[in-house]
Structure 1
Amino acid sequence: MHKPARFDMYATIHRALRHFMTDTLTQIGRLDAGDSEASRAALDQLDTLLYLCRQHLEHENRFVHPAIEARSPGGSQRIAGEHEDHLEAIAALEAEALAVRQAPSPTADLRLYRHLALFVADNFEHMQIEETRHNELLWQGYDDAELVQIHEQILASLDPAERGLVLRWMTPALPRSERAALYAELRKQMPGEVFSAVLEGAKPWLGAQDWAALVADLDQREALLA
């Protein structure tokens, strides 16, 4: 028999971040100094990605690392150091993106793309360590109810704009069953008309097949509760 899966507070947000990073990397890779409108949109998306990356680091520093240190002293030291490196990299990318806005050129575009690619690659390895070693420490030190409580503290710290941003990139990144579970939980938390607007807002983020599946899954869950 398989052991029940432990609560993993990294899983869904990291899916969202990986999706956001890879999509943004693709957009920056397509920068064209002669297409100012498309370049502006890509650079705006990069700015938003870097904002979310900074917020994500701060949330982990504020909530997750103290929890690890409380039960496994020194356990978060490596990742905490990498967070400092990532904050420096974010600032450097923001400055480089601003320079590209002010003086676009094929050389500057390519340089930004390559530096972003290195940042994404570093983050992918970083997230793998968090999802393995950090989760091991969290699971050793806490039961699932305690981990859910920490996760809820993180969610409560998000402002509406950040919540919406996370939802935008998380929705298409999740497996079908997890996407349905997420929106079923949102439906419990929101007035009907608000949830309807949120659900309709997700339609552009999904292909036709995924959108139809989400609606069908939610209808099925509602029917089971009736």
Structure 2
Amino acid sequence: MQSHALEMAHVAATARTGQGRFNLYAGIHKALRAFMADTLLAVGRADPTDATDVNQAATRVGELMDLCASHVAHENDFAHPALEARCPGICEPVAQDHEAHLRHIAHLRDAAQSLLKTETSEREPALQALYLGLALFVADNFQHMHTEETVHNSALWAAYSDAELIGIHDALLATVPPAEMMLVMRWMLPQLNAPERLGVMQGMRAGAPAPVFEGMLTGTQGLLNPRDWAKLARGLGLPPVPGLVAV
């Protein structure tokens, strides 16, 4: 109990330290947590006697594993070199996590593919095994992301200015393929709080071609509840929707 109290105190201190600072991890980690949790629930409720349910569960796991593998690569290529350049040695524990995650990703990807070829009579245990393996993966990643958002963020804020952090972030984004970016936005935008969401969309409006921004705006409206959409529309200076009031 005492260790949890100390950990919560550390989290609160980190949050205060980072107040107003650029957070390299916040948005993508909210997206990953949502995608992981939703996929775990989808696999857990999949009907092993229904081929469509089984196919959808396996496909969802495959999509999640692809995004997780790409996320590991992005952090290895951008966040870790920045950290090691000014805080040598800080990345070693998390780098070991990344290696373990890639092995776990390969195992879950294989399990999902094998599920598609499993005889009907064997689907139930195979689906349960996939569910349990995915649950462990999600649990491990939640703990991993916590370390990055506390230990690594504290180091980044101490060693880099916000302008430098934004430069690292923008360089990373420039390497993300459009399909991956759309998938991330689908899981990220509904999970951000209103000020975070507005900041993302303002940045996109300033930096992306108008048709890309308009397409993302249309897609975002379909992902948000009416109150969140009204807040975003007001922040972007869009005409209000008749009869819709943001409280």
Same fold (TM over 0.5): yes
**Higher relative contact order at CA 8 Å, sep ≥6: structure 1 or structure 2?**
1
Pick aligned residue for 1:39 from 51, 54, 62? 54
| Cα RMSD, aligned residues only | 2.0
User: Deviations along 1:2-29, whole A, 9 cap, x unmatched?
Assistant: 9852221011110110011101111111
Consecutive unaligned residues in structure 2, runs of 5 or more: 1-15, 240-247
**Shift of the alpha carbon at 1:83?**
0.2
> What SS does the corresponding residue of 1:88 show, helix, strand or coil?
helix
Q: Which residue, out of 206, 217, 238, partners 1:199?
A: 217
CA change 1:113–1:60 in 2 (3 A) is same
Equivalent residues, number = 221
2:227 to 209, 212, 223: 209
Query: CA–CA distance in 1 between the matches of 2:57 and 2:221?
Result: 21
Percent same amino acid among aligned pairs?
44
Match of 1:219 in 2: 237
Distance of 1:116 and 1:55 partners within structure 2: 17
Runs of 4+ with >4 A deviation: 1-4
**Structure 1: 5+ residue runs without aligned partners?**
222-226
Write the distance in 1 (CA, Å) between the matches of 2:77 and 2:17.
33
**In the alignment, what sits opposite 2:108?**
93
Q: For 1:16-27, what aligned pairs fall within 5 Å after superposition?
A: 16-27=31-42
User: Partner letter of residue 83 of structure 1?
Assistant: H
CA distance in 2, matches of 1:220, 1:203: 12
- TM-score, normalising length: structure 2: 0.84
TM-score by length of 1: 0.91
Q: Give the C-alpha shift of residue 42 in structure 1.
A: 2.4
Alpha-carbon distance between aligned partners in 2 of 1:2 and 1:65, rounded to the nearest angstrom: 21
Deviation at 1:203, TM superposition (A): 2.9
Q: 1:183 maps to what in 2?
A: 201
Q: Kindly indicate whether residue 122 of structure 2 is the aligned counterpart of residue 107 of structure 1.
A: no
Pick closer, same or farther for the CA change 1:135–1:3 going to 2, 3 Å.
Answer: closer
In structure 2, the residue matched to 1:224 is: none
Structure 1 distance, partners of 2:214, 2:170, is 23
Give the counterpart of 2:79 among 59, 64, 78: 64
